[in-house]
Amino acid sequence: GAVVSQHPSWVICKSGTSVKIECRSLDFQATTMFWYRQFPKQSLMLMATSNEGSKATYEQGVEKDKFLINHASLTLSTLTVTSAHPEDSSFYICSASLGGWNTEAFFGQGTRLTVV
């Protein structure tokens, strides 16, 4: 199957700083990528849909100015957590789709963010 790679796998940052997480489709072009957040012992919650070349679509309750998403190419989407606070500590996961009528989604390995 197709491979999606996230970087970094884990990151620790200080409160008030910004952190960028990368999501790359390694062997296919992804028109659409999705960002999820997962708190401990909970399910994956969709944050936003990232479309190459256009603005991301955010789910209700997700602050677009805090979680900046950029999908500048067909193989890379980035999520930047700005002015991070301890409550932003979570597991962030991206997935990528081939698009069109293809329903298969490929997931990255996730990024563990800890804000201290």
| Least gap, CB of 108 to another protein (angstroms) | 5
Shorter beta-carbon distance to another protein: residue 43 or 54: 43
| Least gap, CB of 94 to another protein (angstroms) | 8
User: Parallel, antiparallel, or unpaired: how do β-strands 111-115 and 10-13 relate?
Assistant: parallel
Shorter beta-carbon distance to another protein: residue 19 or 110: 110
| Contact of 71 with 21, CB cutoff 8 Å | no
User: Parallel, antiparallel, or unpaired: how do β-strands 90-97 and 32-38 relate?
Assistant: antiparallel
Interacting residues toward another protein by CB under 8 A: 1, 6, 32, 34, 36, 42-46, 49, 91, 93, 95, 97, 99-105, 107-110, 112
| Least gap, CB of 65 to another protein (angstroms) | 21
Shorter beta-carbon distance to another protein: residue 20 or 112: 112
Q: Which residues does 79 contact at the CB level (< 8 Å), separation at least 6?
A: 20, 21, 23, 35, 47, 67, 68, 69, 92, 94
Shorter beta-carbon distance to another protein: residue 1 or 16: 1
| Least gap, CB of 2 to another protein (angstroms) | 11
